Structure 1
Amino acid sequence: MARDVTASPGPLDRWYEQAGVRTGVRRMFHEEAEHGKVFFPVELVPYTGHEAVRLLPPERVRELTVRHLYQFLLSTTHLETRVVNVAAEPVANGRAGLDLPAAVRLDAFKVYCDEGYHALYSLDLADQIAGVTGIAVPDWDYGGFVQRLRETGHELLPGAPQLAELLQAVVFETLITAVLNEVPGDRTVAAPVRDLLRDHARDEGRHHRFFSLFFKELWVRLSPSDRARAARALPALIRAALTWDLAPVHASLRLAGLDADTARQVVADTYGGGPGDRRLNEMARALLRLCAAVGVFELPGVREHFAAHGLGDGSDAGHEEHA
């Protein structure tokens, strides 16, 4: 029997008092107040350590860090609305084929509102910074990344596109995003950037808890055959979510003055191996613990299937985080 989520406080019960879209302020960039600050920590931009990038003039490297911030902000606008909200909407409207309590549907609408607001303020800040710095916001639509996610879901779960979308949303919303944790405390970064990422992190902490509870509700409602299919799909869905979209990186390097071949080499040297197993497990550790909690690894062959994808079973991750 599934837990009655209406019987105890939920992660979004105080949404009207806590959500950024309800209580937040518009983060405004004032150039004179941010003199000497950076837009994004250079040490969090992996390719700036490449020898070809180190040869660029300092102003070109600065542009790379600004566009890296744009990349994070734009990916937020697209992935929140085109991945997470694609799953949240049918849950909210009762179209997910699941007999869910009204409290879960209401919370899904709260998530939907939050994600739209995250998209709005991310694009808004990018536009403000472009106006101040003169560094244009590139026309990156992340269509290739979103399409790759969709194709991965269809390939892994043929005939069950909605289940694939729900699992992708669970994956995205339970991954640990280093940027949201690291940048807000870095006082070398412009205050509006730090404040916006802190705002985002607060909402995402509640979303993390919502989707953790939702996954448990989803899991108990799946048929045994669908549980087996979902369990075997999860490792590839995790890898797909954590495989960086490299087209914007290549385009940014070209804008910085590198020729096409050098830009491709920098991308290959920096990201060619994809996320290593250690990094993969670090970012997915909360999800792996969640899988262990609902019994995913108790299904025949699943533990070995995760291991073949470089993923553990969450047994060494300690207690679940409530970020």
Structure 2
Amino acid sequence: MSAADPRREWDERAGVRTCPRRRLGDELDAGQLFFPPALVPYGDHPRVRALPAPHRRALFARHLYHYLDFTTQFETRVVNRVTERIAGGRSGLDVRTATRLDAYRIYVDEGYHSLCSLDVIDQLSRASGIAPAPYDFAPFLARLDAVGEGALPDAGRLAQLLQVVVFETLITAILNDVPKDPRVLTLVRDTVRDHARDEGRHHVFFAGLFREVWGQQPAALRGRIARCLPGLIRSSLLPDLRPVRASLAAAGLGPADVAAVVADSYPADRVDQGIRTASRHAVRLFEETGVLDVPGGREAFSTAELLR
């Protein structure tokens, strides 16, 4: 939030205060894309290209649906469980009232992003006839929570705060690139652009909050935090292949073809490079605040393949 006047910044720029409801036009019949093909790792695989055109179109639609469904769940079940505590004064942190007010603003933003994401899924599935596949967020959340439970078993709320600090300081190609692709449905581009604008303010808030929180921690706990953060980064960014496999199977590929497409599209070196790219701003924040300088810190980040 703006240091000068955070309330005015939010009142005048937050999507929930300024953006109209984004509605689907007549672009489906014109052949506009659901999602940029370059951002779908398996989109150009020969076995996917060989599918009938309607099956490929449905595959890209389900990729979009999964991204939006993940957004609805992450914002409400991960980000907002932390912002609600900060806003309510129950986080265990020594923060100012201004910080609590900003946390309430972010809480509203994230609920609004979830509403918009589900609205887009509903509009597109009704108009296209391509139904979204069920998505179980619980395994992803369990994997994410397990990192904090292992590294900070006696500081669960701090671990959950670190989850959000990590995620809100990541920079993904989706928020940057989807709005720029004129081939993509305007409804999708506008919704992602609205989200990206809000996330810029959230990035500033959580980066600043981490600096405050880090400064309040005793030396012993700093070491454990430093060793926890790389795992949180990787857990946040590792691709969830369950919906990918289900979507490929729904497109008509058999088990052997699904396994081949996934193996070819998500090789370990490419996944690691994607994680390093998306986490570069988060890693820079942690480097600037001295996280990598505590005993074991730099080694933990290096072992996690996060340093260039």
Matched with 1:218 is 213
- Give, in angstroms, the shift of residue 214 of structure 1: 0.8
Partner of 1:206: 201
Q: Distance in 2 between matches of 1:13 and 1:299?
A: 38
Aligned to 1:255: 250
Q: Structure 2 residue aligned with 1:184, among 179, 188, 191?
A: 179
**Which SS does the other structure have where 2:42 is aligned?**
helix
SS at match of 1:310: coil
Q: 2:223, 2:296 within 8 Å by CA — same for their partners in 1?
A: no
State how far apart, in whole Å, the 2-side matches of 1:223 and 1:43 are: 45
Name the residue aligned to 1:95.
Answer: 90
| 1:85 to 2:73 alignment | no
Give 1:122-271 correspondences, 5 Å limit: 122-271=117-266
> How many Å apart are 1:59 and its aligned residue?
1.2
TM-score (norm 1): 0.91
The answer as to 2:9 corresponding to 1:49 is no
Task: Return closer, same or farther for 1:10/1:227 CA change in 2, 3 Å cut-off.
Answer: farther
Residue 261 of structure 1, CA deviation: 2.9
Distance 2:258 2:74 in 1: 25
The residue that corresponds to 1:320 in the other structure is: none
CA distance in structure 1 between the aligned counterparts of 2:269 and 2:242, rounded to whole angstroms: 14
Q: Map of 1:3-152 to 2, 5 A cutoff?
A: 8-9=3-4, 13-31=8-26, 35-152=30-147
Structure 1 residues 276 and 44: alpha-carbon distance in aligned structure 2, compared to 1, 3 A threshold: closer
Query: CA separation in 2, counterparts of 1:244 and 1:12?
Result: 36
Counterpart of 1:319?
none
Q: Deviations over 1:15-46 (max 9, x none)?
A: 11111111111000023586231111122211
Query: Given the alignment of the two structures, is residue 308 of structure 1 paired with residue 303 of structure 2, yes or no?
Result: yes
The 3 A distance-change label for structure 1 pair 87 and 276 is same
Q: Deviations over 1:217-260 (max 9, x none)?
A: 11111222211110110111100000111111111001100112
Letter in 1 for 2:203: H
Q: Give 3-state SS (helix, strand or coil) of 1:217's partner.
A: helix
Normalising by structure 2, we get a TM-score of 0.95
Given the alignment, which residue of 283, 291, 295 partners 2:290? 295
Query: How many residue pairs end up in the alignment?
Result: 308
Identity of aligned residues (%): 49
Deviation at 1:10, TM superposition (A): 6.2
| Post-superposition offset of 1:274 | 7.0
Residues 139 and 274 of structure 1: is their aligned pair in 2 closer, same or farther, counting only changes over 3 Å?
farther
> Does the CA contact (< 8 Å) of 1:34 and 1:190 recur in 2?
no
Paired residue secondary structure (1:49): coil
Which region of structure 1 is more displaced relative to structure 2, 79-88 or 28-37? 28-37
Kindly state the Cα deviation for residue 269 of structure 1 after the two structures are TM-superposed. Answer: 2.3
Aligned partners of 1:149 and 1:241 also within 8 Å: yes
Distance of aligned partners of 1:303 and 1:11 in 2 relative to their CA distance in 1, 3 Å threshold: farther
